[in-house]
Structure 1
């Protein structure tokens, strides 16, 4: 038989491929839903009560190396370089060799009005952004963050802004975040993750800031917008030194938007069986947690934030920390709310 005589039609192939695709989608969706049901058997408000540290250890184990090897107070090599000084603030470049040959970078803002024993705020940018744009300067008004970093400085707080691997890297032909997915996949193959690596990095930075920058180590806060808020939630759940957390525009069920949110750095093996956003938020209690979302947020729907918050509220209630949790509905888009609600709650609990 000559192959040229075969009459396989393209319609058959299209039908078969669609059937297979839809079948995979059905199986995965059902598996994810079943995992959520099993999560309730693993953790609940009642089960978490009195066992937070046990669950925190399992959470850290889920995120992986090198966070699993972090030990509080371990000194790492560092460099501090003065970049700029005005009558209002001194700006330093801080570098930490958190692992051999890897330097973690950030900017330290020291306002002239700050006193010894002042609070520390760690602020993170969103995906595709740089830390040097977290306060207004020159023509840059910092509109998306409402220059909240400038307000922290005006309040006499020391501010550290670390640069996680979330910036655009068009010069190297890499889409945002800058090759993060490749590194995350490789780390997960060896028992780690980018989230574990960067929480480890920021914990090493906190060790330095406590030891050398004359802050009040009982008054450490963390905030971020978008991916910065996502990181703030996860880091605050891992490190109990963070007294007050501010999560803007990044609190939602990632499984509800599988196309936009199906990135490897947002999931971990078996994580759906153990910790969703509400359960991770619960690990912050009884410390303070402020969450906000705009009703017109074009990236993360407001109704999804409401659903996840309703579950979080149950945990804080049972853990006796209902007054340490606040959710704010702004009229804005994907940005820090213009109102003072978040700033006042975050700073108020930081200074308690």
Structure 2
């Protein structure tokens, strides 16, 4: 390229800076692509570095946590998991004072009694959800399932209270088995619910910005919401009408991811059913699903392993357009050895059903397996 020498006419201001306005400077303007090759090489180098680090990660995860080491000290790994996610999960311990609660009756339908509930999981942080008591169980002790909605969802949506959905009546199916249901709200709702006038909107937020702000302070949205659900369980397990030995959790999509994460954190959950969420976390490396060094310690298969020896059922749809089934690792091969070490290999199952991004319709597959420990 022929070098061009030109004068840059900077404006003088009230400054003590030396005046360079009359210098003749080499310029490549307006050709910004002169160093395109070097920039591409730098970018390629970053991508090669990532691929190199990821290629070593499986060996590092195996060295960090294997069936033998986990079986020897599962709570050590659970505390490491808390540390990875951050505050307030790191402060959770048994015997904490029960949280403050606001609860009000909504109504009764053919399924049972319906309540709205807020639980103060941290000072002035009120976790919201809907609580269902199955018909005929108002004064009778029964198990409890946390039913977690997915992205864009709400407790009302996953409970057939508003709108059509892809949850296949899961809340109703659980209630039909005589089990109480708590449907918490997590920070993944769609702001615009009805676009046509009169428009209906929910509070506006930026999940990733909030997550980044929390991570700056040693926390994460996952830590806050996992802790929130554990504090909710503190409240429910203190209720004499809730059988604390029969606690389960299930969810779809984001809710399936949360089912995996919360079940790994809280051993009171004796049975978990995660639908359409478990996958290759290097392919689906979303910002709010990524934490420092998680690729070398806790990707999905080892988070699932933290549930051993408790019951766990995972599934994905062969026609799922959100999280593809063929990118999901062989979870049965990767997780069952942890269960086998406890002598309960059959307590874990991962299944590919023939449907789309939704729960399996077949009760005799995952649902019966999941509910067996809770009914």
Same fold (TM over 0.5): yes
1:185 aligns with 2:207: no
Whole-angstrom distance in 2 between the partners of 1:328 and 1:222: 17
1:30 aligns with 2:30: no
Given candidates 78, 83, 86, the residue that maps to 1:64 is 86
CA contact (8 A) 2:118 2:129 kept: yes
Q: Tell me which protein shows more helix as a share of its residues.
A: 1
Whole-angstrom distance in 2 between the partners of 1:173 and 1:93: 18
Shift of 1:266: 0.5
Larger radius of gyration: 2
Deviations 1:187-212 (A, max 9, x none): 11111111111111111111111223
Shift of 1:237: 0.7
Q: How does 1:1-352 map to 2 (within 5 A)?
A: 1-3=5-7, 6-7=27-28, 9-73=31-95, 74-114=97-137, 116-137=140-161, 140-142=163-165, 144-170=166-192, 178-212=205-239, 214-255=241-282, 257=283, 261-340=284-363, 341-351=365-375
Structure 2: runs of 5+ lacking an equivalent: 9-25, 193-200
Whole-angstrom distance in 2 between the partners of 1:310 and 1:214: 39
CA contact (8 A) 1:64 1:192 kept: yes
Deviates further, 180-189 or 108-117:
108-117
Shift of 1:263: 2.7
CA contact (8 A) 2:127 2:228 kept: yes
Whole-angstrom distance in 2 between the partners of 1:81 and 1:194: 27
Secondary structure in 2 matching 1:55: helix
Deviations 1:251-295 (A, max 9, x none): 11210x2xxx33321111111221111111111111100011111
Whole-angstrom distance in 2 between the partners of 1:59 and 1:137: 35
Structure 1: runs of 5+ lacking an equivalent: none
Deviations 1:52-75 (A, max 9, x none): 111111111211100111123431
Whole-angstrom distance in 1 between the partners of 2:187 and 2:372: 30
Whole-angstrom distance in 2 between the partners of 1:191 and 1:318: 34
Whole-angstrom distance in 1 between the partners of 2:287 and 2:231: 25
CA contact (8 A) 1:286 1:324 kept: yes
CA contact (8 A) 1:113 1:154 kept: no
Q: RMSD in angstroms over aligned alpha carbons?
A: 2.0
CA contact (8 A) 2:148 2:252 kept: yes
Q: How many equivalent residue pairs?
A: 342
What TM-score, normalized by structure 1, do the two folds share? 0.91
Runs of 4+ in 1 over 4 A off after TM superposition: 170-174
Whole-angstrom distance in 2 between the partners of 1:141 and 1:267: 31
Whole-angstrom distance in 2 between the partners of 1:173 and 1:157: 32
